[in-house]
Amino acid sequence: QADTAMYRAKESGRNSISFYLPSMQESADRRLTLEKEMRVALQERQFLLHYQPQVNEQHKVISAEALIRWQHPTKGMVSPAEFIPLAEDTQLILPIGAWVLQEACRQIKAWDLQGIKLDHVAVNVSSRQFRQSDFVQQVKQVLLDTDIQAKRLVIELTEGCVIEDIEDTIEKMQALQAMGIRISIDDFGIGYSSLSYLKSLPLSQLKIDQSFVKQIDNVNAAVIVETIIMMAKSLGLNVIAEGVETLEQVNFLTAKGCLNFQGYYFSRPVPADEIKFTL
Ligand code: C2E
Ligand code: MG
Ligand code: MG
Ligand code: MG
């Protein structure tokens, strides 16, 4: 049943199976199957990371975002939009997230040894993972184990995660910042951030959500984008746009003062050895 659903979804939505809305029963069956399969996937090492380049003003690759992929033995690549929410519901995000951190840091080291010097790699950390009482200690240990400097790691948190427990967030962010780790707010603009609380957080970067970038030719979206860029400037933060697909978007963003980009216009997420470095 679940496989049929997956097959239909794949056919109709190309490879975007995440947009398929199955019936309730189908959905429950499928979640249970996926949950079991995720446990196996961890043991059998079916997860891998792809990396999407981030470019600067000169459109040179200076960093990359690590994005998890699941190479399922029969279903092919499963989108994180499909399994990360379920992993979050089932606590499986804890071992998965720990693996992502370790693997991304291992890759930084591997690139270093190959003479490929990326400024940093950005890693997505989900709320559940961040809320663990020993999260900061875990990160510290990974840096030690992989022998990389803290400044090579950027942690991406969503606005929702940040505001869900603001005191815990501030405490952890300060500890991470003291170590030298930078923090970026992912999908920025769709949440509830106000200038007043952003001021109290030790952040490095705002990442403009791709939904605004996509509709940048729409006046409302354009105004939001400009506002985010102005907010970032007034707070002394770096700003990056994600989901950049066209030269028009690049030009608009550049004109407004956003000089860092990530999106299909520059590169899709690719396996580590396929990144085209332009350093
Ligand atoms: P995100 O962190 O906001 O990542 C950006 C997503 O946008 C990625 O989808 C990326 O492939 C896609 N993207 C980048 N540029 C473009 C573009 O120009 N056009 C379009 N249409 N899409 C673009 P992906 O890899 O499917 O990941 C989806 C989400 O899954 C991520 O959103 C993140 O929230 C989550 N995720 C991915 N990897 C991890 C992980 O290792 N840990 C956690 N906790 N979450 C992850
Ligand atoms: Mg992200
Ligand atoms: Mg994002
Ligand atoms: Mg997103």
Tens digits of per-residue pLDDT, 71-98?
Answer: 999 999 999 999 999 999 999 999 999 9
For residue 45, report the distance from its CA to the centre of ligand 1, in Å.
Answer: 20
pLDDT of residue 132: 98
For residue 61, report the distance from its CA to the centre of ligand 4, in Å.
Answer: 21
* Mean pLDDT of all residues belonging to the chain: 90
Nearest residue to 42 (alpha-carbon basis) of 90, 7, 108:
90
Taking the C-alpha atoms of residue 44 and residue 128, their distance in angstroms, rounded to an integer, is 23
Handedness of CA 273, 151, 163, 231 (dihedral sign): negative
pLDDT of residue 2: 42
Confidence of residue 22 (pLDDT cuts 50, 70, 90): low
Which residue out of 124, 139, 206, 214 has the highest number of ligand 1 atoms within 8 Å of its CB and is therefore the one to mutate?
124
Contacts of 161 by beta carbon, 8 Å cutoff, 6+ apart:
125, 126, 127, 130, 169
Percent of the chain predicted with pLDDT > 70: 90
pLDDT of residue 5: 41
Confidence of residue 23 (pLDDT cuts 50, 70, 90): low
> Which ligand 1 atom is at minimum distance from the Cα of 49?
41
**For 38-64, how does the pLDDT look when each residue is reduced to its tens digit (9 = 90+)?**
999 999 999 999 999 999 999 999 999
Looking only at the bridges linking them, the beta strands covering 270-271 and 47-55 are: antiparallel
For residue 67, report the distance from its CA to the centre of ligand 1, in Å.
Answer: 6
The conformation of residue 132, written as its DSSP 8-state character, comes to: S
Nearest residue to 87 (alpha-carbon basis) of 147, 35, 50:
35
For residue 27, report the distance from its CA to the centre of ligand 2, in Å.
Answer: 26
Taking the C-alpha atoms of residue 119 and residue 63, their distance in angstroms, rounded to an integer, is 6
Q: Is the ipTM of this complex over 0.95?
A: yes
Higher pLDDT pick, 161 / 195 = 161
> Region 118-146: what's the mean pLDDT?
98
Query: Is residue 252 over pLDDT 50?
Result: yes
SS3 89: helix
Taking the C-alpha atoms of residue 23 and residue 51, their distance in angstroms, rounded to an integer, is 34
Which residue out of 84, 190, 213, 261 has the highest number of ligand 1 atoms within 8 Å of its CB and is therefore the one to mutate?
84
pLDDT of residue 194: 74
What ligand has the least distance to the C-alpha of 155?
2
pLDDT of residue 20: 52
- Name every protein residue with a CB atom under 6 angstroms from any ligand 1 atom: 52, 67-68, 79-81, 84, 97, 100, 124, 126, 156, 186-187, 210, 242-245, 263-264, 269
pLDDT of residue 244: 98
